């Protein structure tokens, strides 16, 4: 999903016509994609750490 949105950002940046409004929209979408990726990574790390502290070895799902 993030790759598609980054492609959209690149497309809009290249073909936006240099409009200031278009650049603001592109910047906003790019920032939201990066923040979403960071949020997902932090959520995964927190869940992984909680499971590790509880002693779960993840044998049935490959953790």
Region 34-59: mean pLDDT is: 90
High-pLDDT (> 70) share of the chain, %? 94
Query: How far is 63 from 50, CA to CA, in rounded Å?
Result: 12
CA dihedral angle for residue 5, residue 9, residue 10, residue 13, rounded to 10 degrees: 170
The two structure tokens encoding residue 48: 């992984």
Q: Where are the domains of the chain?
A: 2-53
Taking all residues of the chain, what is their mean pLDDT, rounded to a whole number? 88
Query: How far is 4 from 6, CA to CA, in rounded Å?
Result: 5
SS3 letters across 24-58: HHHHHHHHHHHHHHHHHHHHHHHHHHHHHHCCCCC
């Amino acid at each position: 999903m993030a790759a598609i949105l980054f492609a959209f950002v690149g497309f809009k940046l290249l073909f936006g016509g240099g409009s200031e409004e278009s650049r603001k929209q592109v910047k906003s979408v790019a920032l939201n994609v990066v923040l979403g990726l960071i949020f997902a990574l932090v959520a995964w790390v927190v869940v992984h750490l909680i499971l590790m502290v509880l002693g779960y070895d993840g044998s049935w799902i490959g953790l």
